[in-house]
């Protein structure tokens, strides 16, 4: 019997999936690879382009080529991107998260393509100026909502990320959004908490205060443990790991931390002490192996009291070596616990040895409400405790520093004043904002710049207009936001309009 082209393509795709994903329990099922628009929108769903890419590979590429992803290179991670060439931007952070998530996913036999897609997309909803910009938009919306009683939700970058990929990106002629699979959309939303913590000191709003008006597009309950996919857990942890490691390196580069101070006081940082000990052991072993041709320039690495911290080249090498060792030590601790936890989960829930039957069992489990356990974690390991301790100390020393708080204050001031102008003087906003509003609200007269003053004044009380303005401001890069503020408020703008 001659095999049809459709059957051959399907078999090739199955072979591709089987090669990379030998374990069926970990999100490689039709239940999570479906696209959402069949239920959430009336437009046509684009068909698969053949057997050469999985649905999750397609999602990854859609994100990679999106404008919101490209803008991450000019958005703050901790320090503004223009302050030094080697400090991380939001894009650098995203790429490092993806690298760690892919490594963990491959070792844990999870869906590497899915972890990659979620990681690349996880921060596309982020604002200019990092988390300070995020808090500024949330606080502004709270005050504006309270003043005008608009029934608006607040702002949080994971909710906004879902808004970006579902509504704001323009990749298709007949509909908005990127048309991503359910799993990637779940990952964007659940890679971090759905609400602000009490420590943020922000307005206390109702249960859904951070949904960014996205409830109608969800098609799933974000608090349902059935949607805590192992790949989502992996990306959440990779986000935390990447952040701690590069925050430390950026703190050293920016001189918030001195490298010599860290090494001299390493016992205050058990995780760093462990990594530094490993580096010393490695160097000593190398010196023994090279006894016939001693590497004299490395001898100072065996005794930190003799290390030439004033030598910029040597110090830079130590920072890079420390970063590499931290990634190794941390990921090994995660893998040591998570491999056993995942295997135990699979044995408990999936008894069939045939992959096709396991896929069916898996779908039945999820449809039946069986939750995903927290399997991708540090467990109760000492490394996990040391990691959390280092994270807390970095927050106290760097995130709460005078320098960062001054930048946070500037971000809040700039964004708040841009929003104030846009909402009280709508004729000054970019045409794309007006177009977005017209598309959403369908006013009788679409020529908003021709409206009279009384009509324009009503826009600041219009929920759709306020949300369109916030969407636009949240998508700005640091550089563009500063330029826009200069254009709106300076008598002599540095860059002509």
Stretches in the chain below the pLDDT threshold 70: 1, 13-31, 33-51, 80-84, 198-208, 291-296, 353-356, 359, 495-497
Same domain for 393 and 411?
no
Residues 387 and 407 in one domain: no
Residue 190 resides in a domain: no
- What is the distance between the alpha carbons of residues 483 and 294, in angstroms, rounded to a whole number? 56
- Give per-residue pLDDT as tens, 109-126: 888 889 999 999 999 999
Residues 6+ apart with CB under 8 A from 255: none
- State whether 460 and 419 are in the same domain: yes
Same domain, residue pair 327 and 436: no
Domain count, the chain: 2
Pair 395, 445 in one domain: no
**Both 410 and 394 in a single domain?**
no
Is 186 inside a domain boundary? no
CB 229 within 8 A of CB 279: no
- Asked if 450 and 408 sit in the same domain, the reply is yes
Compute the chain's Rg from CA coordinates: 25
CB within 8 A of 231, min separation 6: which ones? 26, 27, 101, 105, 110, 111, 114, 115, 118, 183, 187
Q: What residue numbers bound the domain in which 476 lies?
A: 403-489
pLDDT for 23 = 42
* Domain presence at residue 17: no
CB neighbours of 161 closer than 8 A, spacing ≥ 6? 121, 122, 123, 124, 125, 126, 188, 189
In three-state secondary structure terms, 170 is strand
Contact 249, 319 (CB under 8 A): yes
In a domain, 145, yes or no: no
Q: Are 395 and 281 members of one domain? A: yes
- Phi/psi region, residue 154 (left: phi>0; alpha: psi -120 to 50; beta: rest), is beta
Provide φ and ψ at 453, rounded to 5°.
Answer: -60, -40
Cα→Cα distances 184→113, 231, 472, 474, Å: 10, 9, 23, 21
Domain match, 421 and 372 both: no
Helices marked H in 108-196 — which ranges? 112-121, 130-148, 157-163, 182-190
Q: 431 and 320, same structural domain?
A: no
Q: What is the pLDDT of residue 27?
A: 47
Task: Give the other-Cβ count within 10 Å of 114's Cβ.
Answer: 33
Report the distance separating Cα 470 and Cα 467, nearest Å: 5
Length, in residues, of the chain: 497
Whole-angstrom Cα distance, residue 23 to residue 231? 13
CA distance 196 to 135: 9
Q: Is residue 341 part of a domain?
A: yes
> Which of 399, 422, 441 lies at the terminal end of a domain, its last residue?
399
For the purposes of burial, counting CB atoms within 10 Å of the CB of 304, is it exposed (0-12), middle (13-18) or buried (19 or more)?
Answer: middle
**Distances from the Cα of 468 to the Cα of 324, 363, 403, 432, 434, angstroms:** 43, 38, 32, 9, 8
Average pLDDT, the chain: 85
Instruction: Show the CA angle centred on residue 166, arms to residues 17 and 181, nearest 5°.
Output: 15
What pLDDT is attached to residue 49?
A: 57
Q: What's the confidence (pLDDT) of residue 153?
A: 86
Enter the DSSP assignment of 200: G
Domain boundary among 371, 399, 427: 399
- Whether 392 and 407 map to the same domain: the answer is no
DSSP-based three-state secondary structure for 35: strand
User: Which residue, of 382, 399, 416, is where some domain finishes?
Assistant: 399
452 and 485 fall within a common domain: yes
Token pair in block for residue 392? 């807390």
């Amino acid at each position: 019997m001659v095999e049809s082209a459709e059957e051959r393509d399907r078999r090739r795709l199955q072979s591709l999936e089987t090669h990379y994903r030998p374990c069926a329990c970990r999100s490689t099922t039709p239940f999570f690879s479906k696209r959402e628009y069949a239920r959430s929108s009336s437009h046509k769903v684009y068909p698969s382009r053949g057997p050469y890419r999985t649905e999750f590979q397609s999602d990854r590429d859609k994100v990679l080529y999106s404008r919101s992803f490209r803008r991450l290179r000019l958005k703050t991670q901790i320090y503004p991107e223009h302050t030094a060439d080697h400090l991380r931007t939001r894009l650098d952070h995203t790429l490092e998260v993806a690298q760690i998530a892919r490594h963990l996913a491959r070792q844990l036999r999870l869906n590497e393509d899915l972890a990659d897609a979620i990681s690349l997309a996880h921060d596309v909803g982020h604002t200019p100026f990092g988390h300070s910009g995020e808090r500024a938009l949330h606080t502004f919306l709270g005050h504006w909502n309270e003043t005008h009683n608009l029934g608006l939700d607040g702002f949080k970058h994971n909710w906004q990320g879902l808004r970006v990929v579902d509504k704001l990106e323009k990749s298709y002629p007949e509909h908005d959004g990127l048309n991503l699979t359910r799993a990637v959309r779940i990952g964007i939303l659940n890679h971090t908490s759905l609400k602000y913590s009490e420590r943020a000191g922000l307005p206390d709003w109702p249960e859904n205060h951070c949904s960014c008006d996205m409830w109608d597009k969800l098609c799933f309950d974000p608090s349902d443990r059935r949607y805590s996919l192992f790949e989502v857990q992996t990306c959440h942890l990779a986000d935390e790991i990447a952040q701690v490691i590069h925050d430390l390196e950026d703190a050293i580069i920016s001189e918030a931390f001195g490298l010599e101070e860290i090494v001299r006081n390493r016992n205050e940082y058990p995780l760093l002490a462990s990594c530094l000990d490993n580096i010393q052991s490695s160097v000593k072993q190398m010196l023994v192996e090279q006894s016939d041709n001693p590497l004299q320039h490395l001898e100072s690495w065996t005794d930190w009291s003799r290390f030439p911290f004033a030598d910029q080249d040597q110090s830079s090498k130590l920072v890079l070596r420390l970063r590499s060792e931290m990634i190794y030590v941390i990921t090994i601790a995660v893998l040591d616990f998570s491999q056993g936890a995942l295997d135990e989960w699979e044995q408990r829930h999936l008894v069939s040895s045939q992959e096709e039957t396991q896929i069916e069992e898996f779908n039945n489990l999820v449809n039946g409400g069986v939750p995903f356990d927290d399997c991708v974690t540090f467990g109760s390991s000492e490394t996990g405790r040391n990691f959390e301790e280092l994270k807390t100390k970095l927050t106290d020393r760097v995130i709460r520093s005078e320098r960062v708080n001054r930048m946070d204050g500037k971000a809040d001031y700039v964004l708040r004043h841009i929003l104030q102008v846009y909402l009280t003087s709508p004729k000054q906003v970019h045409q794309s904002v007006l177009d977005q509003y017209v598309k959403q609200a369908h006013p009788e007269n679409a020529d908003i710049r021709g409206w009279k003053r009384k009509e324009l004044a009503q826009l600041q009380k219009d929920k759709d207009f306020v949300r369109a303005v916030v969407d636009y401001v949240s998508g700005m890069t640091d550089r563009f936001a500063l330029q826009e503020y200069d254009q709106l408020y300076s008598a002599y703008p540095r860059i002509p309009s």
